[in-house]
Structure 1
Amino acid sequence: MNSRAAWLAFALLTLSVLALAVGAGVGSTGFESVLRARHDPVAWQIIGEVRLPRTLGAWLAGALLGLAGAVAQGLFRNPLADPFLLGSASGAMLTVALALALMGGDAAAASWAGKIGLTGAAFIGALGGVLLTLLLAQGVQHTLRLLLAGVVVGYVLGAVKDLVTLSAPDVLSAMVGFVLGNTGFVGWSACVVMAAVLLPCMGLAWVMARVLDGLSLGEATAQSLGLPLAPMRAALIAVLALATGTAVAQTGLVGFVGLAAPHLVRPLARVTHGPLVLLAAMMGGVLLMLADIAARALIWPQELPVGVLTAVLGGSYLLWLMYRRTR
């Protein structure tokens, strides 16, 4: 990691700590609860059981999406690749809806086993969505075909998810929060689940970063380096699906974080994929944490679903990115 990357990592870490402190004071009761926390058990409970896990959970979910975005863009050699543009998020939402129907529809009250079950179901759905996209696109060679296949798969799986939701009324209210993207129900158990997934996914992506570096030079170059592309691609797709599925299972559809995080890192630190996946994860965490704080503060005392805010900002960023690439 070069000096610019080290400074960027330090800046993102510092910003994360500051945002966590700010997030502890942003809510319907304002910063007064922070001042009263030492003497008021109710205020302390609001901070310790609601705001802190929510803010930390936003960082962890953003880190998972940033990591997934960096892996997707390197694996498919496509700067516009994103977990939400490849069918993985739609597949995760479908299996989450099915799991909620079996659990009775209450995601917020799910036990540890329930949260782990939701994460496992979302992983299976995300993996299936990516594989279906690759099947329709007939590989990764054609960028436009890959993106179009991802859009088609996303619409089809989204429609099936809607059918599941309509057929199980108990799931409808829970799925509204998932579709809009919501960090309001993230607790300490969800944070533990996301952290337990983030660490091995990060380690595996770091170990296989050499494959992403080789693929960035072209398929033939990667093969000439003697890299076992088939099993390593399968492992990287598993990382992409597990990271995306875990974030979706805990916070719902929070779009464009995975797309924007790697793009914001690259001009600031010219690095190979090893440091890139780490920095993209940190950038994704900061982006979603700041978006969560803004979603709570913009229309206080009410709040916006964080997925709506990231969709507006991220969609605008994607339009600008596509416009710049066409010039």
Structure 2
Amino acid sequence: MSTSRAPARAGEPLPAPPDSPSAYDDPAPPASGVRARLATRRGLLTVCSLLAAALLVSVVVAIGLGSSVVTPGETARYLWAALSGGRIAPDEVTTYQIVWQIRTPRVLLAALVGAGLSAVGVVIQAMVRNALADPFVLGVSSGASVGAVGVTVTGGLAALGIYAVSAGAFLGALAASLLVYAASASRGTLAPLRLVLTGVALSLGFQAVMSVIVYFAPDSEATSMVLYWTMGSFGAATWGALPVVAVVVLLGLAVLHRYGRALDVLALGDETAVSLGVSPDRYRKGLLVLVSLITGVMVAVSGAIAFVGLVLPHVVRMVAGATHARVLAVAPLAGALFMVWVDLVSRTLVAPRELPLGVITALVGVPVFIALMRRKGYVFGGR
């Protein structure tokens, strides 16, 4: 005689999920190479250490490259002088300011946003069990764009000065999240399909509102702002905005990693989750709040950057397997590394002009995504 298990509450220990593939598993032959090493804690630590070292080197290189090239050695010296309070020669002050005041916050912001987008993409794909989901499928980016453009056109939140647009974008993102939750919740439950469809519908509605605002705008400034929020850029990065983003993203990553086993269970489907004693609705509500907060903060400082949260989770999952604890350990480092180089290309490829980040991520993401779909050993939400 079978016994039923009471659904676990968010934060409680979860039972180990059965060893059966979900819609996101790779049904390839037994693990080998990098994937086999990632299956062990020591191997995972080694891979993460290598990615962290590559990220550190990339950050130093990216800070030094631009219209004014600074060698990695000189870049490291300037960074050490800034951190330790060292002295800089008078003839080096201009170069030092370029390195520390302009490029360093931008590169660090790129790393943070890349890490956040990748991790949130992993979580949302498991949460809604949709391989095409990304951090902006819930309409958060469109809501942030409406908030940013509305502040620009109306002059609202002027008391916040240079942070007015970012604050408007963040408030718009939160409002979008609340609307998605209110419209998709039915009798206190959040069905994955309803959540996705509601997010897509509201996203289109926010885009229409944004178009109306631009149409009646007295000048072309709103049009430029729309382009910025829909294509993405780190051009407005400052030291003042960095701490808030760093705290939210890093703490968010730590909390999301603790949801690893819950995500494993959610990816198997609601019926399986309930049979294992997990309440999918309770976990889905908590994850919705968390990913909306992280996404809203990132969009507020960088705009909407496509394909990072869609493609990178699949690439990492191919290497690390379907266990979310491993994926959430590797994905942020891979996303940070990728975004640092994307930002470097965007500001150096056609210098002194700057390409929108979304252009580069699309040029890279589309071919990779098509290649993944054509790969026989990988499954996108089923065969």
TM-score range, shorter chain: 0.7 to 0.9
Which of 219, 223, 248 lines up with 2:299 in the alignment? 248
Question: What does 1:1-327 correspond to in 2, within 5 Å?
Answer: 2-31=41-70, 35=74, 38-39=88-89, 40-103=92-155, 110-111=162-163, 114=164, 117-118=167-168, 120-128=170-178, 130-131=180-181, 134=184, 140=191, 142=193, 150-168=199-217, 169=219, 170-270=221-321, 272-324=323-375
Contact 2:113 2:336 in 1 (8 A): yes
TM-score, normalised via structure 1 length: 0.85
Distance, in Å, in 1 between the alignment partners of 2:179 and 2:106 is 28
Identity of aligned residues (%): 31
Contact 2:140 2:174 in 1 (8 A): no
Contact 2:63 2:104 in 1 (8 A): yes
Contact 2:166 2:300 in 1 (8 A): no
Offset of residue 222 of structure 1: 1.1
One-letter amino acid matched to 1:248: V
Distance, in Å, in 1 between the alignment partners of 2:97 and 2:124 is 39
Offset of residue 74 of structure 1: 1.0
Distance 1:238 1:139, change over 3 A: closer
* Larger deviation, residues 169-178 vs 40-49: 169-178
Offset of residue 21 of structure 1: 0.4
Distance 1:109 1:306, change over 3 A: farther
Distance 1:202 1:162, change over 3 A: same
Offset of residue 141 of structure 1: 5.4
Question: CA offsets per residue over residues 248-300 of structure 1, 9 Å max, x none?
Answer: 11011111110122112112223622232232222221111110011122223
TM-score, normalised via structure 2 length: 0.74
Distance, in Å, in 1 between the alignment partners of 2:291 and 2:65 is 32
Distance, in Å, in 2 between the alignment partners of 1:99 and 1:317 is 37
Aligned-pair RMSD on alpha carbons?
3.1
Unaligned segments of structure 1, at least 5 residues: none
* Larger deviation, residues 148-157 vs 249-258: 148-157
Distance 1:71 1:55, change over 3 A: same
Offset of residue 105 of structure 1: 9.2
Question: CA offsets per residue over residues 54-97 of structure 1, 9 Å max, x none?
Answer: 00101111111112101101101122211233423222222332
Unaligned segments of structure 2, at least 5 residues: 1-39, 79-87
